[in-house]
């Protein structure tokens, strides 16, 4: 049995005539220790999918199984890295992480918890900024704090919702490497949601495109057969990389085109012609 | 790394940033490129103060002349030219019996201010004297189980200011204790919100005078056995009830509109209900709560004058009213002194709240 399983998930927002179906017929299974990436256009329902898995939302129908048990609400076993960092602005870097750690290990002594916090802050290279508030940090640093917070909770599975979406290309690359390095250490199950195909290929074992919503559904999966650790510069020359990348992009483009074509479907225009008034009036001279 | 605390940071923090520019002016730190800022921050305000005083002076002079002219004309039509001439001389001599009673000039107000301070010194000396004299007698009375004799003389202007501040702080504290917890509950629970909404909407616009009367009806009966002066109790409760609405509405609003991201964090961390309120909801709504408290304090100070006036509770409100009823030659000037004192204290109270807000809230607010 798979580690995480999604069976026939449907998710609808609103009720009655206002209902919009966001996700339909989502089936997904992730094995333990696997790194899976879901790639999709913005607005295709990626965040909804993530929130169903981490327990912030409940599916309208279908079931989410985590280790064979249906997901009911959030759990410390599934750590989440949010798209917009979601750090509490009134707490410092250290306090943000401490708060999370304290909830997960309520029985540990304060001193031990502080050590855990220090370790994870060091791991993401933010020790000099441990007493700063999120406002004083750059976007990349904030996302590192969010990564440290999620990992410090020592979850069994880590769910990342477009974690690097708001960062510039250089910071993005660096953080991808860091996340991978940390992941390589104990190879916990990871789910990455992204809109960047290259990022998906670089990081994941398997890529699944999400067809754009409404009625978003998962497309066919693409296996990434590239040896780890992967090298970004060499990756560009790797024939396997090129092939997979082209296949995924082609697939996504096709969906995009299909969607455009749908939108452009000719609207039947009423058959109207200007009426001639000429004969209706008699001109008397 | 600790950041050094400079005067500039402190003054900016308490919302009195212009003081730093003064310091720079005297220590010669002001750079040439700061000249524009210097003009804007120092020269313009000082110039506008002088302009204000000048306009006030001219206005007061004009009103004085109009009133004097009217008096002379009246004497002329009522009693004939001799009486008019006598009136003109009387006004010119500055005699109190025929002095035109109108808007006092800045100089008169300044004189009244000094006389009020002198009056305070006399009264406090008198009070100290009295306490010294009655000290031994009071010891005996207390030993015999009787109430000590207390000073019952007229309160000075400074005493009245202190009394007003006491009333306003008691009222503010009452508003804080009622409005913040109630606002939190209303913000957290949609059920409570719909239960209380009509109540808030109806009572919010009620005038201070009506609040005073309502509190008077209730407190009078509750304290029916007590021989103590209930005017303080009545006035501070009225001030509190009058001013608490801004805090109540702002707190409820702040609590019910916490950023969804923070709520998601609370859910993912699986915080308990208590923890969620104290660690996520309250800190994130502090800026709005403080905005409410700031409005509450300024409203409390504003309605205080009217309520003290009605409640006959000693303080700036009754000072103003008594001076108005009194009609002595410097009464008008004293009323203007009270007006400036009220304004300046109101300004300082606002800065005090801003300072507290900046100390406890993550969201720094700039002074306006």
Which residues in chain B have Cβ-Cβ distances shorter than 8 Å to A103? 269-271, 275
| pLDDT mean over B101-129 | 88
Q: B1-5, B155-159, B204-208, B269-273: which range is least confident on average?
A: B1-5
Of B267, B269, B284, the CB nearest to A100: B269
Q: Sheet harboring A20-30: ordered strands across?
A: A20-30, A4-13, A61-66, A69-70
Of all residues in chain B, the one with the smallest CA distance to A128 is: B1
pLDDT above 50: residue A151: yes
Which residues in chain B have Cβ-Cβ distances shorter than 8 Å to A104? 269
What's the pLDDT score for residue B1? 40
Subunit contact A99:B269, Cβ cutoff 8 A: yes
pLDDT above 80: residue B198: yes
What's the pLDDT score for residue B2? 46
What's the pLDDT score for residue A175? 84
Of B261, B269, B363, the CB nearest to A103: B269
| pLDDT mean over A131-150 | 89
Confidence of residue A280 (pLDDT cuts 50, 70, 90): low
Q: Which span out of A133-142, B220-229, B309-318 was modeled with the highest average pLDDT? A: A133-142
Per the listing, tokens 């599916």 go with A59
Q: A19-28, A77-86, A208-217, B69-78: which range is least confident on average?
A: A208-217
**Bigger pLDDT: B205 vs A166:** B205
What's the pLDDT score for residue A99? 92
pLDDT above 70: residue B28: no
Q: A237-251, A259-273, B225-239: which range is least confident on average?
A: A259-273
- Cβ atoms of residues A181 and A172 within 8 Å: no
CATH class of the structural domain B155-360: mainly alpha
Subunit contact A82:B261, Cβ cutoff 8 A: yes
CA B87, chain centre distance (Å): 42
Subunit contact A74:B270, Cβ cutoff 8 A: yes
What's the pLDDT score for residue B55? 95
Q: Does A72 reach chain B within 8 Å, measured CB to CB?
A: no
What's the pLDDT score for residue B54? 94
| pLDDT mean over A98-112 | 91
- Cβ atoms of residues B356 and B129 within 8 Å: no
pLDDT above 60: residue B92: yes
Q: A185-189, A209-213, B54-58, B207-211: which range is least confident on average?
A: A209-213
Q: CA B330 to CA B337: how far, in whole Å? A: 11
Task: Give the gap in angstroms from C-alpha A55 to the nearest C-alpha of chain B.
Answer: 8
Record the pTM: 0.78
| pLDDT mean over A45-58 | 88
Q: Is the ipTM of this complex over 0.95?
A: no
Which residues in chain A have Cβ-Cβ distances shorter than 8 Å to B265? 82, 86, 88
Subunit contact A56:B361, Cβ cutoff 8 A: no
Task: Give the gap in angstroms from C-alpha A45 to the nearest C-alpha of chain B.
Answer: 17
- Residue A80: exposed, middle, or buried by beta-carbon count in 10 A (0-12, 13-18, 19+)? buried
Q: CA B112 to CA A251: how far, in whole Å? A: 88
Subunit contact A74:B271, Cβ cutoff 8 A: no
Which residues in chain A have Cβ-Cβ distances shorter than 8 Å to B269? 76, 99-100, 103-104, 153
Subunit contact A90:B361, Cβ cutoff 8 A: yes
Subunit contact B265:A74, Cβ cutoff 8 A: no
Q: CA B52 to CA B57: how far, in whole Å? A: 9
CATH class of the structural domain A4-77+155-261: alpha beta
Q: A81-90, A246-255, B295-304, B356-365: which range is least confident on average?
A: B356-365
What's the pLDDT score for residue A283? 59
**Residue A174 token pair:** 């660096």
Nearest to B251 by CA among B309, B291, B216: B291
pLDDT above 80: residue B128: yes
Report the sign of the C-alpha dihedral through residues B106, B108, B109, B115, in that order: positive
Task: Give the gap in angstroms from C-alpha A151 to the nearest C-alpha of chain B.
Answer: 12
| pLDDT mean over B309-333 | 84
Which residues in chain A have Cβ-Cβ distances shorter than 8 Å to B267? 55-56, 73-74
DSSP per-residue letters across A101-131: HHHH-TTS-HHHHHHHHHHHHHHTT-GGGTT
CA dihedral angle for residue B132, residue B133, residue B138, residue B140, rounded to 10 degrees:
120
pLDDT above 50: residue B39: yes
In the DSSP assignment, the letter for residue A274 is P
pLDDT above 90: residue A177: no
């Amino acid at each position: 049995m798979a580690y995480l399983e999604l069976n026939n998930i449907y998710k609808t927002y609103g009720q009655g005539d206002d209902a919009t179906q966001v996700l339909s017929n989502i089936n997904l299974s992730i094995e333990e220790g696997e790194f899976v990436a879901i790639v999709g256009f913005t607005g295709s329902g990626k965040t909804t999918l993530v929130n169903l898995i981490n327990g912030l939302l409940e599916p309208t129908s279908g079931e989410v199984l985590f280790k064979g048990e249906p997901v009911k609400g959030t759990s410390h076993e599934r750590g989440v890295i949010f798209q917009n960092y979601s750090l509490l602005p009134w707490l410092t870097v250290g306090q943000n992480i401490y708060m999370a750690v304290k909830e997960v290990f309520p029985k540990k002594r304060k001193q031990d918890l502080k050590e855990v916090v220090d370790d994870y802050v060091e791991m993401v290279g933010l020790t000099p900024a441990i007493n700063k508030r999120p406002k004083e940090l750059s976007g990349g640093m904030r996302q590192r704090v969010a990564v440290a917070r999620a990992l410090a909770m020592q979850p069994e599975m880590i769910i990342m919702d477009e974690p690097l979406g708001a960062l510039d290309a250089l910071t993005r690359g660096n953080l991808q490497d860091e996340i991978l390095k940390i992941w390589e250490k104990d190879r916990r199950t990871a789910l990455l949601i992204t809109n960047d195909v290259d990022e998906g290929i670089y990081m994941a074992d398997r890529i699944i495109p999400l067809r754009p919503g409404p009625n978003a559904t998962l497309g066919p999966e693409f296996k990434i057969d590239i040896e780890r650790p992967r090298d970004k510069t060499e990756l560009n020359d790797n024939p396997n990389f090129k092939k997979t990348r082209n296949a995924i992009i082609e697939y996504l483009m096709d969906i995009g085109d299909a969607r455009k074509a749908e939108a452009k479907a000719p609207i039947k225009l009423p058959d109207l012609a200007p009426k001639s008034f000429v004969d209706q009036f008699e001109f008397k001279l | 790394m600790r950041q050094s605390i400079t005067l500039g940071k402190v003054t900016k923090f308490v919302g009195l940033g212009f003081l730093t520019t003064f310091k720079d002016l005297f220590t010669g730190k002001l750079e040439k490129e700061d000249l524009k800022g210097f003009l804007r921050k120092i020269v313009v305000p000082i110039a506008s103060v002088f302009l204000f005083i000048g306009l006030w002076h001219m206005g007061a002079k004009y009103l004085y002349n109009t009133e004097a002219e009217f008096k002379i004309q009246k004497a002329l039509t009522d009693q004939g030219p001799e009486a008019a001439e006598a009136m003109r001389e009387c006004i010119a001599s500055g005699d109190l019996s025929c002095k035109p009673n109108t808007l006092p000039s800045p100089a008169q107000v300044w004189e009244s201010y000094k006389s009020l301070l002198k009056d305070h010194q006399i009264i406090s000396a008198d009070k100290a004297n009295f306490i010294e004299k009655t000290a031994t007698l009071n010891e005996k009375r207390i030993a015999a189980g009787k109430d000590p004799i207390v000073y019952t003389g007229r309160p000075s202007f400074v005493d009245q200011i202190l009394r007003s501040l006491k009333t306003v702080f008691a009222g503010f504290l009452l508003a804080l204790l009622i409005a913040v917890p109630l606002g939190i509950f209303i913000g957290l629970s949609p059920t409570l919100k719909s239960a209380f909404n009509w109540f808030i909407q109806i009572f919010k616009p009620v005038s201070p005078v009506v609040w005073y009367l309502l509190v008077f009806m209730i407190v009078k009966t509750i304290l029916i056995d007590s021989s103590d002066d209930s005017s303080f109790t009545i006035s501070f409760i009225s001030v509190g009830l009058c001013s608490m609405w801004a805090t109540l509405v702002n707190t409820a609003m702040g609590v019910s509109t916490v950023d969804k991201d923070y709520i998601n964090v609370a859910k993912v961390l699986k915080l308990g209900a208590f923890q969620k309120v104290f660690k996520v909801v309250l800190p994130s709504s502090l800026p709005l709560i403080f905005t409410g408290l700031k409005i509450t304090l300024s409203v409390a100070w504003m309605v205080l004058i009217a309520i003290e006036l009605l409640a006959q509770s000693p303080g700036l409100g009754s000072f103003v009213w008594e001076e108005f009823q009194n009609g002595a030659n410097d009464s008008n000037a004293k009323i203007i002194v009270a007006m400036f004192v009220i304004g300046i204290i109101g300004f300082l109270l606002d800065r005090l709240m801003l300072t507290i807000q900046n100390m406890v809230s993550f969201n720094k607010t700039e002074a306006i």
